[in-house]
């Protein structure tokens, strides 16, 4: 019966569509209302379906457009690579490949063996990878690579490394405590945790490291990683606006600062040495010894002058150094003339504060012999603290020797 009723309804609907007013019979009001309601429901359903299809289509188009733009941005040689290349001053655009993992991204970009990954550190926007080469004997060295996460995998963002030979420290009074490298922020880089300092801890007494931004009165405590490592490593990410000079500070387990170094080069790498002993006590420091040199005056008479330093290697005239007053100091050098030429830098470390600062820089040239020396160089030095100072003399960034002097308040 139900089936017959459905067939009658269908026949009636068909007749009504063809011409209901030519029918001899008229449907009831209830029947017309039911037909009207059903047609209205079908129409509403069709409209909603069309709207849904339009929304789905628009969403799909947006996703496709987004992924297309993202791919154009992240693809090798894409917009992000163009931005980084331009900011780095490169004439050609870098083509940084994508990797499925951070390690693969670094390997594809560097194109060679990076050594062993000794630590992975998740940071905002990506990951820091610390590499160590196993064949680096009697050296301190690390490679740090930042890899950022993209929609299509991992992409290299910035990195670099250093290697410093332990023979670099030639002064027996110095004890290696930490190594470091600084990497600045580049305007073309995306989501990088830079500027950043990183390095190794080379002495067990060093328990914590801090990096201070001297001009902004900002100090950043470093993260120290010891677990699973034969030599602990450390890093400190600074605010993007941070700028030189920086100061690296080393602390023992009691919170006593046992060493420090001022950094004036935003890309510097070097060693930080401990104070004279692990307690920060400089009582073992002693003035460098005096030794005689001979020269001739205008009449050919012999003149004996007392120098302070290392006989037959390095010396300065023994005259008082008054704190706060720039004073002229003539440095005397003995040795191979080919070595005694180039950039000359004098760094001073105060026994009172432990701070290391650059006191003077100039050019050392051949042939400026005086008082029997191989060559010499004038300088202007201004000490800022009373007490003992260790003056480290560098030629072409290599430590030539050290002289311990005293800062006084009067002649």
N- to C-terminal Cα distance for the chain? 128
Q: Which of 51-55, 144-148, 288-292 has the highest mean pLDDT?
A: 144-148
Identify whether residues 297 and 262 lie together within a single domain. Answer: no
Please give the Cα distance from 220 to 228 (Å, whole number).
24
Identify whether residues 153 and 185 lie together within a single domain. Answer: yes
Identify whether residues 299 and 398 lie together within a single domain. Answer: yes
At what angle are helices 79-87 and 29-74 packed, to 10 degrees?
30
Q: Which residues contact 325 (CB under 8 A, 6 or more apart)?
A: 382
Please give the Cα distance from 408 to 387 (Å, whole number).
7
**Cβ contact 407:364 at 8 Å:** no
Residue 282 confidence (pLDDT): 40
Rounded average pLDDT over 6-11: 56
DSSP 95: -
Rounded average pLDDT over 47-71: 75
Tokens of 301: 């008479």
- Residue 281: its H or E element: none
In the chain, % of residues over pLDDT 90:
37
The torsion region of residue 332 among left (phi > 0), alpha (psi -120 to 50) and beta comes to beta
Residue 226: how many CB atoms within 10 A of its CB?
Answer: 12
**Cβ contact 305:280 at 8 Å:** no
Helix (H, G, I), strand (E, B) or coil at 49: helix
- pLDDT at residue 333 is higher than 90: yes
Residue 19 confidence (pLDDT): 54
Closest CA to 126 of 150, 160, 152, 100: 150
| pLDDT confidence bin for 303, thresholds 50/70/90 | confident
Identify whether residues 106 and 254 lie together within a single domain. Answer: yes
Domain count for the chain: 2
Residue 321 lies in a domain: yes
Identify whether residues 165 and 218 lie together within a single domain. Answer: yes
| pLDDT confidence bin for 155, thresholds 50/70/90 | very high
Residue 197 lies in a domain: yes
| CATH number reported for the structural domain that contains residue 376 in this entry | 2.60.40.3830
Lowest mean pLDDT among 78-87, 169-178, 210-219, 295-304: 169-178
Please give the Cα distance from 317 to 331 (Å, whole number).
8
State the pTM of this model.
Answer: 0.56
Identify whether residues 330 and 392 lie together within a single domain. Answer: yes
> Of 243, 273, 303, which residue is a domain's last?
273
Tell me the H-state helices in 260-401.
none
Please give the Cα distance from 247 to 270 (Å, whole number).
13
Residue 283 confidence (pLDDT): 40
- pLDDT at residue 349 is higher than 80: yes
Residue 5 lies in a domain: no
Lowest mean pLDDT among 20-24, 313-317, 377-381, 392-396: 20-24
Residue 248 lies in a domain: yes
- pLDDT at residue 12 is higher than 60: no
- pLDDT at residue 75 is higher than 50: yes
The DSSP code sequence of 116-161 is EEEEEEEETTEEEEEEE-TT-TTEEEEEEEEEEEETTEEEEEEEEE
**Cβ contact 332:313 at 8 Å:** no
Identify whether residues 119 and 268 lie together within a single domain. Answer: yes
Rounded average pLDDT over 238-254: 88
Identify whether residues 221 and 311 lie together within a single domain. Answer: no
Identify whether residues 149 and 175 lie together within a single domain. Answer: yes
Residue 269 lies in a domain: yes
Please give the Cα distance from 374 to 345 (Å, whole number).
18
Residue 280 confidence (pLDDT): 42
At 159-183, the pLDDT tens digits run 999 988 765 554 545 678 899 999 9
- pLDDT at residue 5 is higher than 80: no
Residue 380: how many CB atoms within 10 A of its CB?
Answer: 12
> Of 247, 273, 299, which residue is a domain's last?
273
Residue 89 lies in a domain: no
Residue 87: how many CB atoms within 10 A of its CB?
Answer: 12
∠ CA 105-127-146 to the nearest 5 degrees?
60
Rounded average pLDDT over 303-317: 89
| pLDDT confidence bin for 343, thresholds 50/70/90 | very high
Rounded average pLDDT over 52-74: 73
> Of 217, 243, 273, which residue is a domain's last?
273
Q: What does the mean pLDDT of the chain come to? A: 82
Identify whether residues 112 and 224 lie together within a single domain. Answer: yes
Q: The domain containing residue 309 runs over which residues?
A: 290-408
Identify whether residues 294 and 269 lie together within a single domain. Answer: no
At 265-297, the pLDDT tens digits run 999 998 888 765 444 444 446 678 888 888 777
């Amino acid at each position: 019966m139900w089936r017959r009723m459905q067939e009658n309804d269908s026949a009636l609907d068909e007749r009504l569509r063809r011409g209901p007013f030519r029918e001899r019979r008229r449907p009831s009001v209830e029947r017309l209302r039911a037909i009207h309601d059903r047609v209205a429901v079908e129409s509403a359903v069709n409209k909603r379906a069309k709207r849904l299809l339009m929304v789905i289509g628009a969403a799909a188009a947006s996703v496709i457009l987004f992924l297309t733009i993202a791919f154009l941005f992240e693809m090798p040689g894409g917009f992000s690579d163009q931005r980084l290349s331009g900011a780095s001053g490169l004439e050609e655009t870098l083509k940084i490949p994508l990797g499925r993992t951070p390690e693969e991204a670094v390997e594809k970009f560097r194109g060679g063996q990076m050594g062993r990954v000794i630590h992975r550190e998740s940071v905002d926007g990506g990951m820091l990878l610390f590499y160590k080469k196993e064949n680096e004997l009697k050296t301190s060295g690390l490679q740090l690579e930042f890899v950022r996460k993209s929609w299509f995998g991992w992409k290299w963002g910035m990195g670099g490394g250093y290697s410093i030979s332990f023979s670099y420290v030639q002064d027996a009074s110095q004890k290696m405590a930490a190594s470091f490298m600084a990497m600045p922020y580049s305007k073309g880089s995306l989501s990088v945790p830079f500027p950043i300092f990183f390095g190794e801890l080379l002495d067990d007494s060093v328990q914590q490291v801090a990096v201070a931004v001297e001009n902004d009165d900002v100090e950043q405590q470093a993260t120290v990683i010891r677990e699973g490592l034969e030599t602990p490593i450390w890093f400190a990410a600074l605010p993007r606006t941070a700028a030189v000079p920086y100061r690296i500070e080393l602390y023992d387990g009691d919170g006593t600062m046992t060493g420090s170094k001022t950094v004036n080069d935003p890309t510097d790498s070097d060693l930080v040495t401990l104070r004279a002993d692990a307690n920060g006590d400089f009582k073992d420091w002693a003035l460098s010894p005096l030794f005689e040199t001979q020269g001739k005056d205008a009449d050919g008479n012999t003149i004996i002058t007392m120098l302070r330093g290392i006989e037959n290697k390095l010396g300065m005239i023994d005259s008082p150094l008054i704190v706060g007053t720039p004073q002229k100091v003539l440095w005397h050098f003995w040795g191979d003339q080919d070595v005694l030429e180039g950039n000359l830098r004098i760094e001073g470390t105060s026994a009172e504060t432990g701070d290391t600062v650059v006191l003077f820089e100039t050019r050392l040239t051949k042939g400026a012999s005086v008082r029997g020396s191989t060559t010499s160089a004038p300088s202007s030095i201004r000490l800022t603290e009373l007490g003992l100072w260790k003056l480290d003399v560098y030629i072409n960034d290599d430590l030539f020797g050290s002289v311990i002097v005293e800062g006084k308040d009067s002649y």
